[in-house]
């Protein structure tokens, strides 16, 4: 890959698997963020967390020792709320965690007619009856909205079903294709770029997931560096250093062991990756 022609002004950082793992800061994450700030590099946390509000994410990060303002936390919740604020008369059937259902209460259709079915983290979904109720809303004409479409995520005790698996279920049954708000949607990345006042060539996307972080970076033409912590490092068949399949994944400019190596990478002008 050709090195960026302009200096990196901002970093779009994934959270789970990149900054934190199982609620704890990944070793070196706090000092890496501090070094980026010292270099005047803006930071946005671009995460697909769809079970909690950005304020909760912010508090959890602070508990892990990572202090960021809530405005720096970009999640599909932020994107979906902006979308719904532009459609104030429309109402949603909510398939969300209790915390997010409360956050989206102003847009809740309740027992009335739903314009949308909004699907997020389904760990608190009761099962067949709740999925079937959402399906019936779709068959009544509601459109399917997905906070994100991740297929699986790396829980502390192993890989777990992610929101996208439930979105696919509802898509298959209804014949609809959902509108997705989180990574890898180009809209989501462009919203973050607009917020930073940067163009894609001025930012570096850093994450642990080729399917969300790297694929999303590619949709806007931003370079992406993967870390070996989190999902990427743990995934069977992709764990080996220098695995050619991932090194060659579209949109991946390079791979570093962890976020701790990011400041040195930026200070080297990305040259250590041979990009």
Per CB under 5 A, residues contacting Mg ion are 14, 16-17, 208-209
Cα–Cα separations (whole angstroms), residue 103 to 51, 52, 107, 262? 11, 9, 9, 34
Work out how close the CB of 5 gets to Mg ion at its nearest, in angstroms, rounded to a whole number.
28
Could you tell me the CA-to-CA distances from 217 to 129, 184, 190, 205 in Å, in that order? 37, 7, 10, 6
Q: What angle do CA 186, 119, 129 make, to 5 degrees?
A: 160
Q: How far is the CB of 6 from Mg ion (least distance, A)?
A: 26
The DSSP output letter for 2 is P
**Inter-residue contact 223 to 8 (CB < 8 Å):** no
Residue nearest to Mg ion (CB): 17
Nearer to Mg ion, 42 or 229 (CB): 229
Please give the Cα distance from 13 to 19 (Å, whole number): 8
How far does the chain reach from its first CA to its final CA, in angstroms?
5
**Residue whose CB is less far from Mg ion, 107 or 149:** 149
Least CB distance to Mg ion at residue 73 (A): 14
Q: Which is nearer to Mg ion, 17 or 76 (CB)?
A: 17
Least separation, in Å, of the C-beta of 230 and Mg ion? Answer: 5
Phi, psi of 224, rounded to the nearest 5 degrees: -130, 135
**14 vs 162, which CB is nearer to Mg ion?**
14
Nearer to Mg ion among residue 10 and residue 13 (C-beta): 13
Nearer to Mg ion, 184 or 263 (CB): 184
**Which of residues 170 and 259 has its CB atom nearest to Mg ion in the complex?**
259
Print the SS3 string covering 182-240: CCCCHHHHHHHHHHHCCCHHHEEEEECCHHHHHHHHHHHCCCEEEECCHHHHHCCCCCC
User: For 145, left (φ over 0), alpha (ψ -120 to 50), or beta?
Assistant: beta
Judge whether 108 and 92 are in contact, CB under 8 Å: yes
């Amino acid at each position: 890959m050709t090195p960026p022609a302009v200096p990196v002004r901002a970093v779009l950082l994934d959270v789970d698997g990149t900054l934190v793992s199982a609620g704890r800061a990944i070793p070196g994450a706090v000092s890496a963020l501090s070094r980026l700030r010292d270099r005047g590099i803006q930071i946005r946390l671009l995460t697909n967390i769809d079970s909690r509000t950005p304020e909760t994410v912010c508090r959890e990060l602070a508990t892990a020792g990572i202090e960021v303002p809530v405005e720096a936390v970009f999640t599909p919740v932020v994107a979906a709320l902006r979308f719904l604020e532009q459609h104030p008369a429309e109402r949603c059937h909510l398939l969300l965690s209790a915390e997010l259902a409360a956050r989206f209460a102003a847009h809740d259709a309740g027992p009335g007619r739903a314009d949308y079915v909004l699907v997020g983290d389904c760990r608190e979904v009761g099962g067949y009856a709740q999925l079937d109720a959402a399906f019936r809303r779709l068959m009544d004409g509601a459109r399917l909205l997905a906070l994100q479409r991740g297929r699986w995520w790396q829980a502390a005790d192993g890989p777990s079903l992610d929101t996208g698996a439930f979105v696919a279920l509802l898509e298959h049954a209804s014949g609809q294709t959902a509108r997705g708000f989180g990574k890898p949607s180009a809209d989501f990345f462009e919203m973050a770029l607009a917020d930073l006042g940067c163009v894609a060539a001025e930012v570096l996307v850093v994450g642990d997931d080729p399917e969300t972080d790297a694929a999303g970076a590619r949709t806007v033409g931003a370079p992406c560096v993967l870390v070996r912590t989190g999902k990427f490092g743990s995934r069977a068949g992709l764990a080996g250093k220098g695995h050619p399949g991932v090194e060659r994944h579209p949109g991946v400019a390079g791979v570093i062991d962890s976020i701790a190596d990011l400041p040195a990478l930026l200070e080297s002008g990305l040259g250590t990756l041979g990009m």
